[in-house]
Amino acid sequence: MNEKEYLEWFDSKDLGFEMFTKAGNRKCKSITRSVIKKIFGKKRISQEEVIELAASKIRKVMDKDGYREILDSEPPYHIKHYIMRACKIAGYDHDFDRFDLSSACYR
**For residues 70, 73, 74 and 75, what is the CA-based torsion angle, rounded to 10 degrees?**
20
What does the alpha-carbon distance between residue 24 and residue 62 come to, in Å, rounded to a whole number? Answer: 10
40 in a domain, yes or no? yes
Average pLDDT over residues 24-53: 97
Average pLDDT over residues 50-68: 96
pTM, full prediction: 0.94
56 in a domain, yes or no? yes
Q: Which residues of 64-96 are buried (b: 16+ CB within 10 A; e: fewer)?
A: eeebebbbeeebbbbbbebbbbbbebbebebeb
Which range, of 24-33, 43-52, 98-107, averages the lowest pLDDT? Answer: 98-107
How much is the pLDDT for 13?
87
16 in a domain, yes or no? no
57 in a domain, yes or no? yes
Average pLDDT, the chain: 95
